[in-house]
Amino acid sequence: MSGISRDIRASHPYGLYEGMAHEPVVKHHGDVYSRAQIRREEVIQSIGYMRKMCGKIPPEEKDREPLGKPASSSFALSLTEGWRGQICHCAITDERGELAHYKVVDPSFHNWLALALAVRNNEISDFPVSNKSFDLSYCGFDL
């Protein structure tokens, strides 16, 4: 809704997304209605992706063995695309391969400052509309 064409599925395609040529849904108005339009179009787009991907799963992938224990003293990073934007997962294991630290960064984490700047010098009555236009996650801020 901000006119920025940024999407992990396009910038870092992996697995079944490789060769998919994902086109992010972009709107340029920056309001609540634009965000609703984006969600609707992304749901339709995602259904199409699922239909294509289900037919592409190699037989050996369907019967894959469960993952084993994580490697010791390792760092793993995962980027996924959520409906608010990029979600980053970081995991660190100790010398026994046990999970020592796990951190999730929600897209809202990066945008709370933008909301603060956007409502600066405005009336308090404008805050609810501005807040919903940004559509930030309250619980995602402190993850």
- How far is 136 from 143, CA to CA, in rounded Å? 13
Q: Is residue 12 part of a domain?
A: yes
Q: What's the mean pLDDT in 26-52? A: 85
- Residue 97 has a pLDDT of 93
- Tell me the C-alpha distance between 51 and 37, whole Å: 22
Check residue 143 and give its pLDDT: 46
Q: What is the distance between the alpha carbons of residues 93 and 75, in angstroms, rounded to a whole number?
A: 7
55, part of any domain: yes
Residue with tokens 């997962």: 89
Structure confidence by residue, pLDDT tens digits, 88-130: 999 999 999 999 999 998 888 877 888 888 888 888 777 777 7
Which domain range does residue 42 map to?
1-64
The answer to whether position 13 is within a domain reads: yes
Lookup: tokens for 140:
């995602």
Distance CA 29, CA 12 (A): 26
Between 75 and 15, residue with greater pLDDT? 75
Total domain count, the chain: 1
Tokens of 67: 């993952």
pLDDT at position 141: 55
pLDDT-based confidence at 63, cuts 50/70/90?
A: low
At 9, give phi and psi (nearest 5°). Answer: -65, -25
Question: Is 118 inside a domain boundary?
Answer: no
Residue 110 lies in a domain: no
Mean pLDDT, the chain, whole residue set: 82
DSSP 69: P
In a domain, 38, yes or no: yes
Q: Is residue 33 part of a domain?
A: yes
Note whether 107 and 114 are within 8 A (CB): no
Q: Considering the domain boundaries, does residue 104 fall inside one?
A: no
